[in-house]
Structure 1
């Protein structure tokens, strides 16, 4: 393959890989533009790139979004935040979850903002910051109905008293206040009433703090579903997660915005053979052919992150047509029925989700078959699946997690070199 700055042909990429995930940067930028147009002009977008950007590859995704003017990123933990800094990401980074208080020096030195969600945690972080002689920027996280981490806002004045104390703690600087909506992805009347209740609790707490002259900093409440269903909420920032990647927060949100899927999973046919009627296929002989059948084997399995529960339920695309999965999906391989697809041969392109010609297999379709959500499917993609970054039909970067020496100098979206 030609790894020059000009990129290389996708067909060459196909020849060089067993299985890979294509990340369409043009679609990523398109989705960002759609989100920005939905929101008030003053509302900035926080790009959620936790969990390796939902399986899309956090460093390449963040680099592309930063190039497009995104200045705030959300991650789950300190390791993710430090990795972004090591990759050259300069924007603000907010850690949503737990960071050991003893890591306060790293937070301060790396300019990473930490969510503070309880008084005990805030005090621990303050103590460590005082010992280290540093100051950590924090966003106060309020629990308005998620029942997860956060200062409980439904319990009277205790929440305000605790938040007031946080402002007095040495070594901490409050630069933001936020909450998380638990049921905003449903258009059901009861769910939307609960969402409005969460918003009311949040605003009451913010108003109480501001009345005392306390700076609540950047205010943010909307997640992806909140952006879609309540784009006119006029906050300082909105957290765009799954919609950045062109997926719906829930099936009932489909069609609410012109989103384009960013990720496609591809592979190739490794073998084709014809078997007689009555031939058992795969472990447990769960499929027995009912006719003479052409069986294609594909080098993808549950170890690659393709769920075994899709055995005998899902299909893949070959030559723009659906090929049903036969038998149980194996750790590293699966078999599909190509009897009705003429001319299938070894090396042919396979699309596990994405578009091939007139046919598309969506993540929502697979999620419904698997009894899960699209988020889980993208996050399940394993480290042995390379991520290949596409712009204008050309490969502009690649990450091979299981081969750290491969393509270490692959082009990042701004033309710089990605550090690992």
Structure 2
């Protein structure tokens, strides 16, 4: 069995990410591509994946927080950055003005939500002698970010009086594009198109119009406009059950470790906290140095599967904070050469595996987003090409 030098690693396949970016652009008719890179690139490591975005000629990155935007700058990202979140609105005047100056100076695109957002950005732009580019969001039915039509028109009228602000982009976000029933997504799309027509009728032409998240790109038609905004699908996963294999997305993350302890326990032994697993025969067990503190879900206790070579080994007992125990008896009965240091695949990047991201999500009745974004900082991300 193969041995590893690092005890807990997430291999991130950069060629898979580049492939997925290009695939999504082709599906959508080759518009601009804004990749959602928030939450540490959906758990994949923003510092690791940036070269893949550059290879795929990604036009813009979208983030949730000011800190995420500034981290991209520190990492050397040169293309536009769009700030999705409403964090800017919460700060008091003095701090807000200082942040506005940082955003404008670094050409980070704010999603403006309030009149005073515009005022602070305008003041910063005048001070820096720059034109600030912003995006606006229309709430077409998700009731999260974005303004209703009346308030958005009012904000646009206010911005029109500001010579130092350019409305670069206009967008909405779908609430249910991943559902088989498209009726609500179609309603949102119709509202978005109608409002865009209202703007055009007023001779307001916004350069970048975007609406399509991953589910919309894969599940809806006529939603590309001139930029798409996928997230989870860039990393190889889809929110649409059953579609993964047919659309050729390539999962980018593979979490691997090695066995740190192997021991034989007699029949009648209990395993782990709470004594939830009872050995009904003499058993060989192995310790894997990952736990719920690393994002390996505690609900996988007595349910999860890992993989050694081509063999699946079951998780037994409760997942601990730092360690998980697996049953190696079947492998040892085959006389397989498994030793301390043998590689074990915790999360596989083969979506047909029983321990793939999507298989684990299905087992836990959750979504792939939760599985990958929970992978913690003790799991060392390393770039690979074509793993």
TM-score scaled by length of structure 1: 0.84
Task: Provide the residue aligned with 1:228 in structure 2.
Answer: 218
Distance apart, 1:215 and its partner CA: 2.7
1:263 aligned to 2:259? no
For 1:138 and 1:296, the matched residues in 2 are separated by 54
Q: Tell me, in whole angstroms, the C-alpha distance in 1 between the residues paired with 2:228 and 2:59.
A: 12
2:71 counterpart of 1:83? yes
Question: 2:138 is paired with a residue of what secondary structure?
Answer: strand
The structure-2 alpha-carbon separation of the partners of 1:110 and 1:356, relative to structure 1 and needing over 3 Å to count, comes to closer
CA shift, 1:293, in A, is 1.0
Task: Report the equivalent of 1:382.
Answer: 376
In the TM superposition, residue 133 of structure 1 has moved relative to its aligned partner by 5.6
Q: Is this contact kept in 1: 2:350–2:356, CA < 8 A?
A: no
Q: Aligned with 2:29: secondary structure?
A: coil
Report if the CA contact (8 A) 1:269-1:349 is conserved.
Answer: yes
- State yes or no: 1:94 paired with 2:82: yes
Selected match of 2:6 from 17, 26, 47:
17
RMSD over aligned Cα, in angstroms?
2.1
CA contact (8 A) 1:308 1:329 kept: yes
Which of 146, 149, 152 is the matching residue for 1:150?
146
Q: 1:118 & 1:254 partners in 2: Cα distance?
A: 39
Question: 1:368 aligned to 2:351?
Answer: no
**Residue aligned with 1:332, SS:** coil
Match of 1:322 among 312, 315, 318: 312
Task: Classify 1:270/1:203 alpha carbon distance in 2 versus 1 (closer, same or farther; 3 Å).
Answer: same
Structure 1 15/237 Cα, relative in aligned 2: closer, same or farther at 3 Å? same
Match of 2:331, SS state, is coil
Please give the secondary structure, in 2, of the residue aligned with 1:350.
strand
1:287-325 CA deviation, whole Å, 9 max, x = no partner? Answer: 111111111111111111111111111111112211111
Q: Deviations over 1:225-276 (max 9, x none)?
A: 0000125434110012111111012325433411111001111101111111
Cα displacement (A) at 1:158:
4.3
Q: Which residue of 1 aligns with 2:107?
A: 111
1:137 maps onto 2:133 in alignment: yes
Residues 317-342 of structure 1: CA deviation (Å, up to 9, x unaligned): 11221111111001110101111113
What TM-score, normalized by structure 2, do the two folds share? 0.90
Q: Do 2:131 and 2:165's aligned partners in 1 also have CA atoms closer than 8 Å?
A: yes
2:232 corresponds in structure 1 to 242
Q: 1:355–1:254: structure 2 CA closer, same or farther, 3 Å change rule?
A: closer
Which ranges of structure 1 fall in alignment gaps of 5 or more residues? Answer: 1-10, 394-420
- State whether structure 2 residue 209 is matched by structure 1 residue 219: yes
SS of aligned partner of 2:250:
coil
Q: Distance in 1 between matches of 2:147 and 2:111?
A: 11
User: What is the match of residue 279 of structure 1?
Assistant: 269
Question: For residues 320 and 343 of structure 2, what CA distance do their matches in structure 1 show?
Answer: 20
1:128 Cα shift?
5.2
SS of equivalent to 2:348: strand
The 8 Å contact of residues 113 and 146 in structure 2, kept in 1 or not, is answered as yes
The CA distance in 2 between the partners of 1:123 and 1:283, in whole Å, is 57
Identify if the C-alpha distance between structure 1 residues 54 and 286 changes in structure 2 by more than 3 Å, giving closer, same or farther. same
- Distance, in Å, in 2 between the alignment partners of 1:125 and 1:184 is 33
Shift of 1:129: 4.7
2-side partners of 1:385 and 1:98: how far apart?
Answer: 30
| Distance in 2 between residues matched to 1:265 and 1:59, nearest whole Å | 17
